[in-house]
Amino acid sequence: MSVKRWGASVALVGLLAVGASACGSSSNTSSTSSSSGSSGGSGGAAKIALLLPESRTTRYEHADKPLFEQAVKAQCPSCDVLYANAEQDPAKQQQQAEQALTNGAKVLVIDAVDVRSATAIATRAKQKNVPVVSYGRLIAGADLDAYVSIDPYRVGVQQGQALLRALAGRPRRRIIMINGSPTDSNSAPYRRGAHSVLDPAGVKVVKEYDTPDWSPDRAQTEMEQAITSAGKNGYDGVYSANDGMAGGVVAAEKGQGIDPRTRPLTGQDAEVAGLQRILAADQTMSVYQPIARIASIAAQLAVPLAQGRTPPASLTPARSDNGRMQVPSALVDTIVITRDNIMDPVVKDGYATVAQICTSAYKAACDAAGIR
């Protein structure tokens, strides 16, 4: 995937508060709210499908879903959001997309489980003249109306730079790499971005894995295998592409009697558990995706598309190559998170609360970091 980065930094914006509860169903089924949506057309009520890939990464249920629903309602109070979570099953996601189309969705906003198999979903939607917004992951080889995400290569660079800084001064710089799922279009750019920093610096990769489904359990198994192969003293740090897998890495190290505080470890998503590991020095950093901004842009695209209108071209100033076309894209800047900047932006943005982060086990660390 070739991605041109959106060069201007995008400021975080607050979402408009809504009095009514957001529409949606449980995480596993697709449904509509109680209000009645029309068939779309030129303005007015419409049905908008939000199809997310899984729930083991906590951001989807706790951030993407509610923030997108709120952003839609702020623009179109009479619009319905048809929500479904595929739980890492591409076939299930295809069924959910079919159900959404049957239920009258006038636009699909989809974060694909598998960016290749999701091509069939986009093709089916286009056959019904339903626009498709690729959310988070770029659907391959499909006719898409827009793509909203972050620049994954830049995230990999940020992770690689943070790991390189943490390894500075060590006599050896040997790492284990726990990469993301091969079915996620972002995984390869994350990996390439990290390698673009680490390889020229002479960092040696002793073991490297691509982790199906971004599974923390698989990451733990991979880390256990890497420790067995390299030895407890055979590595100096770990590249983990996200926080969930970083949790698996820490579990593997503790299970082998290794103090995680002695081995720098990267992450991504600014999950509460990841932030707590950063405060405990078990994890070095995370990368914060401004999901409020991402969800807001996606809603600003989806509402007019569902109503038969053309969204402002200024929303998608970049272009991303998905193998078929240069997709109009919004690529939102990401922020490196350490113990020194958890308050701003993570807490100030409302992505996580002090109460969630600073449980009794982490109160002293929070006080020391000025999180209160």
Which residue(s) pair with 45 in the sheet?
A: none
Q: Cα separation of 75 and 296, whole Å?
A: 10
| DSSP conformational letter for 285 | -
User: Of 353, 345, 341, whose CA–CA distance to 279 is shortest?
Assistant: 341
pLDDT, tens only, 42-81? 568 999 999 999 998 889 999 999 999 999 999 999 999 9
State the average pLDDT over residues 252-273.
Answer: 97
pLDDT, tens only, 83-101? 999 999 999 999 999 999 9
Does residue 130 surpass a pLDDT of 60? yes
Does residue 329 surpass a pLDDT of 90? yes
Contact of 271 with 286, CB cutoff 8 Å: yes
Structure confidence at residue 301 (pLDDT): 98
Structure confidence at residue 42 (pLDDT): 54
* Share above pLDDT 90 across residues of the chain, in percent, rounded to a whole number: 86
Structure confidence at residue 56 (pLDDT): 87
Where are the domain boundaries for CATH 3.40.50.2300 in the chain? 2-150+289-333, 152-288+336-369
pLDDT, tens only, 295-311? 999 999 999 999 999 99
- pLDDT grade for 10, boundaries at 50, 70 and 90: very low
Does residue 137 surpass a pLDDT of 60? yes
Question: Residues 112, 114, 118, 119: is their CA dihedral positive or negative?
Answer: positive
Does residue 19 surpass a pLDDT of 90? no
Contact of 48 with 105, CB cutoff 8 Å: yes
Q: Cα separation of 10 and 24, whole Å?
A: 28
Does residue 196 surpass a pLDDT of 60? yes
State the average pLDDT over residues 193-222.
Answer: 97
Tell the CATH topology of 152-288+336-369: Rossmann fold (3.40.50)
Structure confidence at residue 200 (pLDDT): 98
Contact of 86 with 96, CB cutoff 8 Å: yes
Q: What is the pTM of this model?
A: 0.83
Structure confidence at residue 33 (pLDDT): 38
| DSSP conformational letter for 303 | H
State the average pLDDT over residues 175-194.
Answer: 96
- pLDDT grade for 34, boundaries at 50, 70 and 90: very low
Q: Is residue 62 classed as helix, strand or coil in its secondary structure?
A: helix
Architecture of domain 2-150+289-333: 3-Layer(aba) Sandwich (3.40)
- For residue 260, the one-letter residue type is P
| DSSP conformational letter for 347 | I
Does residue 246 surpass a pLDDT of 80? yes
State the average pLDDT over residues 316-332.
Answer: 97
